[in-house]
Chains A and B, each alone.
Chain A
């Protein structure tokens, strides 16, 4: 379980991250999506404890800065200069001797599946291999909270599927496991997430159920255009060519409004996440839905 309270940080010279509040329950996968520059990486650094400052982050009730907190947190950042100088065998030895969350058999199995070169300095590895090395290390630790900043970026397809499978295995095996990952790819949200949080200008939305997005964001086609503009009824966009079509962020309300105004819905279709997410990110958090 992860509890983030009132976390505030500076991002660059002027922009500010937060205040961020986030409460994540065990057994769930949360995707954090953001446009570039929204503060996602600063947020991940702040949650991981890499960027100390105002506010509190608690992992299973322990401060993220405490040993007990760190022992329950696996963190895969976007860059990892501190491990570049090592070889994987060095890291393995280090964890084996000093990290009581370390599961060496798990590490060996993952390293084998990724075909990781154990004896090369990590800085000599390709971008994708480095990423796999760090993921393998962090997923070999028996922790309840996995925090991953764009874990799939730079991985080949086989690597992506493997990481996806490892994360799912993690959740199946440990009912207290929680995964939070950042992504720019809607398909990753679709395949993995239970909840989505949207970041906009340093602010983070409440977690939204992924399926809720699909049930609400729809295209609705009408038999005939309705006269006048009417109330918004959650309507985002309207087009009439070749048929009257409404893009709504709350299909139930929009359809009710259509019926009340004597219109007929001919067809409806859910937006895919890659269609709805950009709309949400553009406008930032929307507090008017429930």
Chain B
């Protein structure tokens, strides 16, 4: 199985963290349901061009937070996610996206008012498109 995960070279975040967060998002959103077998750390590393040290670290962190479980000799499987946590994660993902947008606006010297106006305009456009 090939996971839709990629490493962003422009990110300041460590590679293991990027992988961890993307897999977490796939699990929480239900894109990869509970029981799904994940690629081995070696297969994922080969797929992403990173090292097994990195993929192992990402899997270990995910396992520690009960998103996945490794069964010796069988492989690594997605665990059931708590509904409340799913909601929290969704909110966290969207919040982070908004934070990034605001930071970009700040970099371009937008005022709070300008950001709000722009946000409402984009929101209207996106809603009409959909």
Contact = CB atoms under 8 A, between A and B. Distances in A.
A90 interface: no
A215 B15 contact: yes
A28 interface: yes
A267 interface: yes
A28 B10 CA distance: 27
B9 A270 contact: yes
Contacts of B46: 164, 168, 191-192
Contact of A268 (B12, B15, B52): B12
A125 to B, nearest CB: 29
A269 B10 contact: yes
Contacts, number: 47
Contacts of A211: 15-16, 50-51, 53-54
Interface residues of A, number: 25
Contact of A215 (B10, B14, B43, B49): B14
A172 B51 CA distance: 14
Interface string B4-22: 0000011010111000000
A190 interface: yes
A252 to B, nearest CB: 9
B100 to A, nearest CB: 14
A172 B42 contact: yes
B9 A190 contact: no
Contacts of B115: none
Contacts of B49: 190-191
A258 to B, nearest CB: 13
Interface in A208-256: 209-211, 214-215, 251, 255
A193 interface: yes
Interface string A168-182: 100110000000000
Contacts of A209: 51, 53-54
Given A211-B15, A214-B15, A215-B14, A194 B45 contact: yes
A195 interface: yes
Interface of B: 9-10, 12, 14-16, 40, 42-43, 45-46, 49-54, 107
10 contacts: A27-B52, A168-B43, A168-B46, A192-B46, A194-B53, A209-B51, A211-B51, A211-B54, A214-B50, A215-B15
Q: Give the top 9 A-B pairs by smallest Cβ distance, nearest first.
A: A194-B51, A270-B9, A211-B54, A190-B49, A210-B51, A211-B15, A211-B50, A211-B51, A194-B52
